[in-house]
Amino acid sequence: MRPLLERYAPPLYGTIILPRTGDAATAEDILRDTMATAVEKIGRFTWQGKSIYPWLRQIAINKVYDLHRQSKRSRRLADAMAQELPQESDPESHADAQLIAAEDQRQNRARITVALEGLNERYRVAIELRLIDELPRDECARRLGITVGTFDVLLFRAVRAFRKRFGARAPEEAV
């Protein structure tokens, strides 16, 4: 499978995925998901005397459509929530809301810092490189001295560990 995937990854990325997403990081993620799905579902592929490319292309297009559907749902939810919020015209209440929002932001940053500090060093570095510094996956992998595939697994596990730590509030916060 590897030679086939390596052969078709560049055209899928450059002609199918990237033009439809417009974002290199998102396109890389979709390409990775496309290839993972292809490996997972290769048993369903039926040879019809053609290349495997049309099958891979359809998987990639479906992944792009899934992304667009998900982002539309997220925008609709955000718009609905914004409409539900009361529109304050009182400048004093607006200032109060800003103070409350600033305090919430400070508390969340503190929680994030505590959660990151509780992770093992490799997990923390992986999250910082990819999600905070927003470096490309290959650069993150290079800095950690690992392959891109290994970095993907490391980041997945790091985010899962972070979510577990971030979601676990201190007993006094749980009230």
Predicted TM-score (pTM) above 0.85: no
**Domain assignment present for 156:** yes
- The least confident of 40-44, 48-52, 116-120, 134-138 is 48-52
pLDDT for residue 31 is more than 90: yes
The answer on 46 and 10 residing in a single domain is: yes
Reported as a single tens digit per residue, the pLDDT across 89-128 is 555 555 666 777 777 778 878 888 888 888 999 999 999 8
Question: CA-CA distance, 152 to 155, in Å (whole number)?
Answer: 5
The answer on 104 and 67 residing in a single domain is: no
Give the pLDDT of residue 107.
Answer: 81
- Name which of 5, 6, 24 is nearest 14 in CA terms: 24
The answer on 71 and 111 residing in a single domain is: no
Domain extent at residue 69: 2-80
Q: Looking at residues 140-151, what average pLDDT do you find?
A: 93
